[in-house]
Amino acid sequence: MNRQTRFAHRNELALARLYSQLPPRFPNAVWRKVVSMRRVPDTLSEAVQAYWQAHPLRADRLARALAAQTGAPDGWSWTLDIDRRDGLPTHFRTPPAPYREAAHWRGHGVCCVCGQPVYRYGWHRDIWGDGRPSRRATWHQACVTAWKFWTAPHANAVLLKKRQRLRCAVTRKRLLRGAQVDHKVPLFQVWREHRHEPWPDLLAFWGIPNLQVVTREAHTIKCAGEAGGRAKARRAAVEHASIAP
Ligand SMILES: [Zn+2]
The span from the CA of 212 to the CA of 197, in Å, is 22
Q: Catalogue the long-range contacts made by 42-47 (C-beta closer than 8 Å, 24 or more residues apart).
A: 42/14, 43/18, 44/18, 44/121, 45/121, 45/122, 45/141, 47/18, 47/121
C-alpha 183 to ligand 1 mean position (Å): 23
C-alpha 124 to ligand 1 mean position (Å): 7
Whether residue 157 has pLDDT greater than 70: yes
C-alpha 235 to ligand 1 mean position (Å): 41
C-alpha 30 to ligand 1 mean position (Å): 18
57-99 confidence digits (pLDDT tens)? 999 999 999 999 999 999 888 888 765 544 433 578 889 999 9
Average pLDDT over residues 137-141: 96
C-alpha 208 to ligand 1 mean position (Å): 17
The span from the CA of 227 to the CA of 203, in Å, is 23
Phi-psi region of 81 (alpha: psi -120 to 50; beta: other; left: phi over 0): beta
Whether residue 150 has pLDDT greater than 50: yes
pTM: 0.87
- Stretch (H or E) spanning 59: helix 56-70
C-alpha 129 to ligand 1 mean position (Å): 19
| 137 and 122 Cβ atoms separated by less than 8 Å | yes
